[in-house]
Chains A and B, each alone.
Chain A
């Protein structure tokens, strides 16, 4: 576990050992449910989750102002609200809420991490560098205005990006190292940061209900219905498409290439943008307006007018999106699945 300073624990609360922190502060979880002085903290935690799931983190009133905790009393409030959010999410047990919360927290941490990286000096081994090393196994060093890391570490993360600017050829590479700005450095680990926070929420056993928490858990349970998706599987979909739908149903992140495959497949099968859009409702970064825009773009009803076609099985294999079964024999695109020539 990393040794954390006052501000740092508030900015990166997921690094703290929750049980240990509460113990050090002299509290038990039960006190938060029963002590009227502590009760507002559960409400703060509830708001933190709500803001995250709404995709509107600004609506959560953080006690961190300009990269620093506003006052001494604010520090525990900020940390407690995070720890209590995790307890509430565990008690609620809805993966979609956990994933949306984790993504939002990852993005919040990302902005602090970027600011902190900008402020460190050459050759130092400060917390942001240690976070990236400990959590993501990337060894980075400050070099003037840049951060350098071994090419192999860079590629292991960059291969998951689809934008061409992340290709190694488009980076400053020298003597086995890649040079990145603080923004690029942090962006490189965003996905893993989200995964790390999700694992903090989902691992470990679900605690039994704590008196005083019920109201918030019930509120979250009814709120989560907003994200439920009812998908009727016809049984005619090829395994790659079924898998993509399952991933979305679980509220897990489907990579861009998977979303592209699913959308183009369903469009080719004659479904409308309005029929397809709700499928993505569970994605951790769902935004209705953006989803509709992108689906229209793929359908060719906006943008250049090009109608995008479903990728070939070969391409899906290289993208690790293929889950072939014997019935897939000899097809070259998922659209051919189930069609037999006599």
Chain B
């Protein structure tokens, strides 16, 4: 990213932070958390301790970071190197990203940027200009993507509450600031579990590693009575609803499953995992030393805010989380797909100088689809 774009983004981010201190708070047990941040065009600075909101706001003003992070883990000495921190426990965090949902709409709102000649085009696997296959893909997610992610959040919440016994009040959902959600679980029985144990929880939520016997299918002489009922709780109940649909259809479907055989049933379960399992990113959940984007801070992939969602079903990320100013700015835009922010449509733009609100300009620059026009002159 060139220095003019960096300056423009830094000015816009700084203005946001200055005007929205009320949005950005240090989390509970601040002194036990590790903080970190990144500046535009620069590497990660981590292993930082922050005392309170005042110190955090000072850091934001002084450094104008592109991204700010905070650990889900609690340490005795958060500012020491990793092996000296003394890990105590960690909140559980789930990452749901629309890119992992493999929705049909995705290609239609993804652009390709050639790593070789920088040509920007609609989704393709080969640069139309130089033929290079080294393409960077940038997605400008649509309403469908967000609805898909919301659906996964709801599935996850149901499992957390009904199966894992998490108190509803200890679950917080945040829009990630780009194309997904972060689900936080506080003060649960899982706080002091290590990575290996959390991987078991991730597999449970993903519906992975399941064996046919769990759903009543035996290798030899399968018994109809062992197959689950629709009234059952947990995965057996969810399996029944997905596979049998209704109580009346159950006998027929059970007959079909038994006659298809054990191996076929195993394969069927693997397919089913993509339908009924929750599409969380397991690597995030099992990482107990990770630092996560701080709620209220901006995401440098979009200029949108990582925002707490009070009501997920009504939440509109591309209007509610777009909190940068409306002040107009001229940019040279090469954005082959349309996108919507704050209920306004933008694009497509074909290498043209346009005047757009700061929030839209930042959005495109963050995705390398525009540059402030003074660069071009």
Contacts and interface: CB of A to CB of B under 8 A. Distances in A.
B163 A155 contact: no
A151 B197 CA distance: 10
Contacts of A150: 189
A155 to B, nearest CB: 4
Nearest to A171: B214
B44 interface: no
Contact of A155 (B197, B210, B235): B197
A270 interface: no
A307 interface: no
B203 A159 contact: no
Interface stretch (A18-26, A162-170, A282-290): A162-170
A175 B213 contact: no
B193 interface: yes
Interface in A136-177: 150-152, 155-156, 158-159, 164-165, 167-170, 172-177
Report, as a range, how many residues of chain A touch the other chain: 20 to 34
B210 A170 contact: yes
B162 A175 contact: yes
Interface in A81-123: none
From A152, A165, A169, residue with most partner B Cβ within 10 Å: A169
Contact-residue size bin, chain B (C-beta under 8 Å from the other chain): 20 to 34
B214 A170 contact: yes
A150 B163 CA distance: 11
A168 B214 contact: no
Contact of B193 (A156, A169, A170, A174): A156
A159 B200 contact: yes
Nearest to B189: A152
Contacts of B163: 173-176
A320 to B, nearest CB: 8
Given A159-B196, A175-B165, A167 B190 contact: no
B357 interface: no
A169 B203 contact: yes
Contacts of A152: 189-190, 192-193, 197
A159 B197 contact: yes
Contact of B189 (A151, A165, A169): A151
B203 A167 contact: yes
Interface string A167-211: 111101111110000000000000000000000000000000000
Contacts of A172: 234, 236
A152 B234 CA distance: 17
Given A165-B211, A167-B203, A155 B193 contact: yes
A168 B189 contact: no
Nearest to A319: B196
B208 interface: yes
B147 to A, nearest CB: 27
Q: Does more than half of chain A's interface fall in helix, strand or loop, or is it mixed?
A: helix
B94 interface: no
Nearest to A320: B196
Contact of A168 (B162, B203, B213, B233): B203
Given A150-B189, A176-B166, A169 B214 contact: yes
Interface string B174-194: 000000000000000110110
Interface in B194-233: 196-197, 200-201, 203-204, 207-211, 213-214, 233
Nearest to B210: A169
A151 B234 CA distance: 13
B164 interface: yes
A158 B193 CA distance: 13
A145 to B, nearest CB: 16
Contacts of A169: 203-204, 207-210, 214, 235
Contacts of B203: 167-169
A151 B163 CA distance: 10
B213 A155 contact: no
Contacts of B213: 165, 170
A173 B214 CA distance: 12
Nearest to A318: B196
Contact of B164 (A165, A170, A173, A318): A173
Nearest to A153: B189
A158 B234 CA distance: 19
B289 to A, nearest CB: 15
Nearest to B196: A159
A257 to B, nearest CB: 12
Contacts of A167: 200, 203-204, 209-210
Q: Count chain A CB atoms within 10 A of each CB in B207, B209, B213 and give the residue with the most.
A: B209
28 contacts: A150-B189, A151-B164, A151-B190, A152-B197, A155-B197, A155-B200, A155-B201, A156-B193, A156-B197, A159-B196, A159-B197, A159-B200, A165-B211, A167-B203, A167-B204, A168-B203, A169-B210, A169-B214, A170-B210, A170-B213, A172-B236, A173-B164, A173-B204, A173-B234, A176-B163, A176-B164, A176-B189, A318-B196
Q: Which 9 pairs from chain A and chain B are nearest by CB?
A: A176-B165, A152-B189, A170-B214, A155-B197, A168-B204, A175-B165, A167-B209, A169-B204, A155-B200
Given A151-B164, A151-B201, A165-B213, 18 more contacts: A151-B189, A151-B190, A152-B189, A152-B197, A158-B200, A167-B200, A167-B209, A167-B210, A168-B200, A169-B203, A169-B207, A169-B235, A173-B163, A173-B164, A173-B204, A174-B163, A175-B162, A177-B165
